[in-house]
Amino acid sequence: MFKWLLTLAITVVVAAIYLPRLMRAMRRHRLPGDVTLRLRGREIYLPFTTTVLLSLLAALIARLL
């Protein structure tokens, strides 16, 4: 259980760092459950819906393999 929570936390951090840049480069909009916060002039992106969808995709791929 701890491994899954740690994996999920790392996925959220990595997605929060790289997804905004990737989405801007691809000119895609954020999903409805993703949260953007502005704190002290910085934009913090928390991709909750994106993380769930990517986790489901990874589980589907793992099940097929």
d(CA 45, CA 18): 10
Q: Which residues of the chain have pLDDT under 70?
A: 20, 22-30
Write out pLDDT tens, residues 24-35.
Answer: 665 566 678 888
Q: In a 10 Å sphere around its CB, with 0-12 CB exposed, 13-18 middle and 19+ buried, how is residue 50 labelled?
A: buried
β 35-39/42-46 pair status: antiparallel
pLDDT number for residue 21: 72
